[in-house]
Amino acid sequence: MAFYGNQVGISIDDTAISCTFTGNPSPSAYRDYRAIVVSRIPFKKDSLVLYPESILSWLNVQRPFHCGIWWVSIDNAIIKAP
Distance separating alpha carbons of residues 61 and 14, to the nearest angstrom: 10
Distance separating alpha carbons of residues 29 and 43, to the nearest angstrom: 29
Measuring CA to CA, how many Å separate 25 from each of 10, 72, 73? Answer: 13, 20, 22
pLDDT in tens, 49-80: 888 777 777 778 888 888 888 877 666 666 66
Indicate the average pLDDT of the chain: 77
The predicted model scores a pTM of: 0.62
- CB-count exposure of residue 46 (10 Å: 0-12, 13-18, 19+): exposed
Q: Is the pLDDT of residue 6 over 90?
A: no
